[in-house]
Protein backbone atom coordinates (compact mmCIF):
# COMPACT_ATOMS: atom_id res chain seq x y z
CA UNK A 1 0.00 0.00 0.00
CA UNK A 2 2.79 2.42 0.91
CA UNK A 3 4.62 1.64 -2.33
CA UNK A 4 1.43 2.15 -4.33
CA UNK A 5 0.81 5.57 -2.85
CA UNK A 6 4.44 6.64 -3.11
CA UNK A 7 4.81 5.49 -6.70
CA UNK A 8 1.90 7.63 -7.91
CA UNK A 9 1.42 11.35 -7.96
CA UNK A 10 -1.50 12.63 -5.91
CA UNK A 11 -3.44 13.62 -9.03
CA UNK A 12 -2.92 10.24 -10.64
CA UNK A 13 -3.96 8.52 -7.42
CA UNK A 14 -7.18 10.54 -7.34
CA UNK A 15 -8.04 9.86 -10.97
CA UNK A 16 -7.13 6.16 -11.05
CA UNK A 17 -7.69 4.79 -7.57
CA UNK A 18 -10.00 6.99 -5.49
CA UNK A 19 -13.19 6.06 -7.34
CA UNK A 20 -12.28 2.36 -7.36
CA UNK A 21 -11.55 2.43 -3.63
CA UNK A 22 -14.86 4.18 -2.97
CA UNK A 23 -16.82 1.59 -4.97
CA UNK A 24 -14.98 -1.28 -3.27
CA UNK A 25 -15.69 0.30 0.14
CA UNK A 26 -19.42 0.62 -0.62
CA UNK A 27 -19.59 -2.99 -1.82
CA UNK A 28 -17.74 -4.21 1.27
CA UNK A 29 -19.92 -2.16 3.60
CA UNK A 30 -23.17 -3.35 2.02
CA UNK A 31 -22.46 -7.03 1.41
CA UNK A 32 -19.61 -8.30 3.60
CA UNK A 33 -20.89 -9.26 7.04
CA UNK A 34 -18.41 -11.88 8.20
CA UNK A 35 -18.33 -10.65 11.83
CA UNK A 36 -14.57 -10.66 11.56
CA UNK A 37 -12.50 -7.57 10.84
CA UNK A 38 -9.76 -9.65 9.23
CA UNK A 39 -12.09 -11.41 6.80
CA UNK A 40 -13.92 -8.21 5.90
CA UNK A 41 -10.66 -6.33 5.36
CA UNK A 42 -9.30 -9.14 3.17
CA UNK A 43 -12.54 -9.22 1.17
CA UNK A 44 -12.36 -5.43 0.71
CA UNK A 45 -8.78 -5.67 -0.57
CA UNK A 46 -9.68 -8.48 -2.98
CA UNK A 47 -12.67 -6.46 -4.21
CA UNK A 48 -10.45 -3.41 -4.71
CA UNK A 49 -7.91 -5.52 -6.62
CA UNK A 50 -10.54 -7.08 -8.89
CA UNK A 51 -12.28 -3.77 -9.61
CA UNK A 52 -8.97 -2.05 -10.32
CA UNK A 53 -7.92 -4.91 -12.60
CA UNK A 54 -11.17 -4.58 -14.54
CA UNK A 55 -10.79 -0.80 -14.84
CA UNK A 56 -7.19 -1.10 -16.04
CA UNK A 57 -8.18 -3.80 -18.54
CA UNK A 58 -10.97 -1.70 -19.99
CA UNK A 59 -8.75 1.39 -20.13
CA UNK A 60 -6.15 -0.61 -22.05
CA UNK A 61 -8.85 -2.08 -24.30
CA UNK A 62 -10.36 1.38 -24.97
CA UNK A 63 -6.99 2.80 -26.08
CA UNK A 64 -6.64 0.20 -28.87
What pLDDT does residue 45 have?
95
Pick the closest to residue 18 from 58, 43, 55 (CA basis).
55
User: What distance in Å separates the CA atoms of residue 5 and residue 32, rounded to the nearest whole number?
Assistant: 26
Task: Give the Cα separation of 6 and 23 in Å (integer).
Answer: 22
Residue 13 pLDDT: 85
Instruction: Supply angle C-alpha 15, 16, 18, rounded to 5.
Output: 75
Using a cut of 0.75, tell me whether the model's pTM lies above it. yes
Tell me what pLDDT residue 11 has.
87
Q: What is the pLDDT along the chain (64 residues), one digit of tens a residue?
A: 788 778 888 888 888 889 999 999 999 999 999 999 999 999 999 999 999 999 999 989 888 6
Q: What's the confidence (pLDDT) of residue 31?
A: 96
Q: Is 57 exposed, middle or buried (0-12, 13-18, 19+ CB in 10 A)?
A: exposed
Amino acid sequence: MYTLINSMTFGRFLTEQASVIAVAFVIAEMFYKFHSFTLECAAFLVTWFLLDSAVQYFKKFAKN
